[in-house]
Structure 1
Amino acid sequence: MKYYLIEATTQVLYSGTAAEKAEELRRLRQLRDAYLDGRHDSPPVRPSVLNAWSRSRLAGVDPDKRQIDVFRRPRLEERLVRAALPVVRRLADAVSGCLAVVVLADGQGVLAHVEGDRAVRRLLERVQALPGADASEEASGSNAVGTAIEEGRGIQLCAAEHYIEGFHTFACTAIPIKDPITGRILAVLDVTSRAEDLCPAALELVREGAQQIMENLVQQLARRERALLDQYWQALKRSRRAGIIATNGETVIASREALKLVHSEDYPLLFLQAEEALRQGSTIERLVTLTDGRPVRLMAQPSYDGGEYVGTLLLLLRSVGGTGRTASRPHRTPDPFDHLVGVSDPFRRMVETARQLLAEKGPVYIWGEAGSGKHALAQAMAVALGGGLQSVDCASLRPGQLRSQLRAWARAHTILLRHVDAASPRLGQALLDLLDRLGPQARVIATGLRRPFGAHKEGPLPRLLRRLAAFTIEVPPLRERREDIPLLAQAFLRCRGLNSYLSLEVAQALTRYDWPGNVAQLESVILSAAAAARGRDITLADLPPDIVHAYRAPRLSRWEEVELEALRQALLQTRGNRSRAAELLGISRVTIYRRLKQCQRLGIDLGLHV
């Protein structure tokens, strides 16, 4: 296959005598010296080598440099690691007898793994060609890894064909490993030996290794396509009237109803909508006009399986009346809940409850774990109610400050009491008194961590919570709405104007993590990861170690997750008292300790901040 072709170095270095090889190495050195001196009267080197030298000079690389001096963290996607590491280790065993090593670098040219002959590894260590070393042409001049990335194909460089002095000891053969769908370079596979030990087997070993890695990637892709098919069938069951198309950029699955609606000329427009929905990380709904002039309502929804993107679902409905405008959103009144991100059932139920309570007259108490999004929901409700808003943080407000708030509260249409369950008893009583004085037109929305009718002692604060809980909304923790996590992460990046995107492994890792700090913690992690990624796609290397550890740890079964959540709730209800939690659950205290030890071993944070 063309993809696996590798441009080899000069033939004499393979088949010549020892004297002929030595003469060829001297010739290459003279050609490099002539290039650096600006003399071009010598016989030319290969065009690819000359181009690589030119790029190296333009990048300002010092040709006299004797070792790599730029280091970064390698950024390999988890699926690439799964596909490549077994091949790298098999090749390392094969080349160790040939006095060579196998190198795996990331798509930017940063070395990640170096395995094989010990003597060659020691030579590489002298030039700092270690994991973390930047072998891109921009940092280290022409070399097989960096030049394969620049050329987008396999290449072999020997001795003075390398730009910097420190690499002249080596012969390197490398080929880029590309994403089977997008063609993006994911990694580079390289075999390196001493220049005098170069043998024809290097070309074949690298070629076979690259082919095996690509086959492994394709096998993983097949699992994703099966997941896409499952998502398609689920969508078909949910909506029999809509035409449904599922696509991941390469595979397209269309229902009978969709085939009735669209023609082949319509697919480019539809795929543009699928790409935009994926880029935004959220569902988009639009009125579009097909090539035959018929308007249809389109919903494009990115689809995930276990946090991994598997494709986008396109739902098409015939539009009754009116004419559509291509890729334009129908005019409608702005929805104050539109900025809240989520597609999960718990999220939808929460938003629908908030909508319904807008028509009620009594106070609303919004409760849930810290960082789960209570304030965002409360603000959305306040915007929907309209009029003036007066917001108070009860955790920091002193009772004596209430008097100064009275006039502002009297003018406000909505009063938002944040952290009301953290108020002091004196403030609780003062708020109770103040609520009695408020006119009937004022709406009160309160947020807090406590259950509104939990086992609290008597006093002003419990009475205040019961008074405010005429209507209640529970905000689900992030671990109960995992399908929203990739959407939220991409929304945080978009809101900051950042161009980074999540790799598939990162989306999976974020989805599997339990997020004791909920949405607030997710936002902090994503923004920190984007800063570390510096404009590139975010990979596992940019995430905190505990999230990566949780991703790589054994996964719990669905039954174990239910059991773990019951244990979490019992410990929260008893404020961490294990004996009482065991009584509530009807199990022994020993079982409680055993479950907690299992959580510690698996790196599971129960989030018991009591």
Structure 2
Amino acid sequence: MAYEIETRDGVARLRQARELFLTDRKLPEDLPAWLSEAWRRSCFAELDVTRDHVPAVPVSLETPLVRAATPVLAKLAGDLAGLGAALVLGDRHARVVGCWADEEAVGAHLARIGTRLGTDLSERSTGTNGISHVLDTGGPFVVGGPEHLFELYQNTVCAGAPVTDPVTRKVIGAVAVVCELDAPLRVLHAITTTATGAIERELVHAASAHEHRLLEAYLRAGPGRYPIAVLDGRTRLVSDAAAALLRPRDIDTLESYAIEAARDGTLPTTELILDDGVKVHLHPAIPGDSGAVLVVVDPPQPRAERRRARLSLFADAGLSGSSPAWRSLERSVARASTRPMLLLGEPGVGKADVARAVLGDPVVLDAADDDSWLAEVRETLARPAVLLCHVERLRRSLAARLAALLAEEHSARVIATLTTGSHSACAEVLRTGWSPVEILVPSLRERTADIPELARRFGGGVHLTQDARVTLQRHDWPGNLAELKAVMASAGAEAGGPTVSARHLPGRLRSTPAHPRLTELEKVERSAISDALLTANGNRVQAATLLGIGRATLYRKLRRYGLE
């Protein structure tokens, strides 16, 4: 007998299977594979299926998707009066950006299941549902009743279909018909596909208008007089003169700045020197549209080429970077010359790789908080180059003795690495007793322009499609380079070939919002939480006590700051 929500027997079997899984973590062998996998993911994520509310987050309603969908779904909701169904619009992160219900009873049902503007319907929040599953698979789907693990949804059916951007061909959202379990399910598919088709036609009209404005901006800039390009992350208008000076890789880099500008509301820089010494100037292409960038290219100058040659140290060592943050790091390292350095940065940013690029083939010692390690350091100072990793592990007294030892006369070039937010007292001791040049290695979220090239390198030279590049660049990378390496290893295995697209990337990058940019106060709080976890050796209960907050609050902040 099949597990079908269209029949009473099928619903009863699904309820039994759900209860068995929640009680004993056992799954019937004949349960559909997609459902078994979805329930296992929810179990792994420790989803609280008995929670009586669904979290909501701030959402923007000033998006092309919402503008295109609102007239379509408002009219369709009126046409559905009497069917007992509501229409819900989700963005690409599975957050609700629109609800339409023309019947009081239907509105009451939405209220009971916590569906409102901003509701987070990602799988991480509520388990599998008709919107999160559609966004994850890219195809229409119905999830109903006990197919949901989430208790609030046991009497709800959600039939969803994806909305595809007509220009980029990427899934940018989903439309769902939401109703009670006894609704005529076969009708729901037709409703959602009709709705998404109409929305996509509206998007075509909007895209055409936007592209017209891009063309106007391009022509106004004078492509016959100057080497220029206009980019917005999906449309490229490049003059012949600019194409002769820019390589495809340069265009990808510049396009990443447009994506970053759209995300942050401002251009990250107004001037950039590319790998071949070509200088470009960046300006907003369209007033009020921060995601469209006008690029004006200067012909390469000999001086710029010589400058780039002096900064080729990292490139020679296989380290990639053209972002302003990475250029700044290169300049700081070059200015330090042969002086000792203390490289600071978040976990996984590549501090040791930078140090090896500077030192060549150093003796590497991982810090250990005991006297025998200090004696080992003394012996290695007779060597030409020494790299001391993780000096944040040292207690204050041993850090003071290390600083005094390094300040003595010796022949070694010494670089030490220290993880920020882990043990600030050690940094202060080294700063005063040793006086190294302190250089901050930027996090990956500060290097948006570098992400595609790093991803290609970590993926063994794979080709990234446009949607994959955009997805990678919009993620906040709390795990930095280490996280990117793991993602590309997984994506390469999923793709099984030389091309990686967005669908090969982990679902959390495609269907959950990236970690938001932090204010200065939030950065301090994140650092304090990291410090407490280090002091407590990873024990979250003890860390919460040290911080003076409850465990639930700590877990929420760990998710907020990407520290899970």
TM-score under structure 2 length normalisation:
0.49
The two structures have a TM-score, normalised by structure 1, of: 0.46
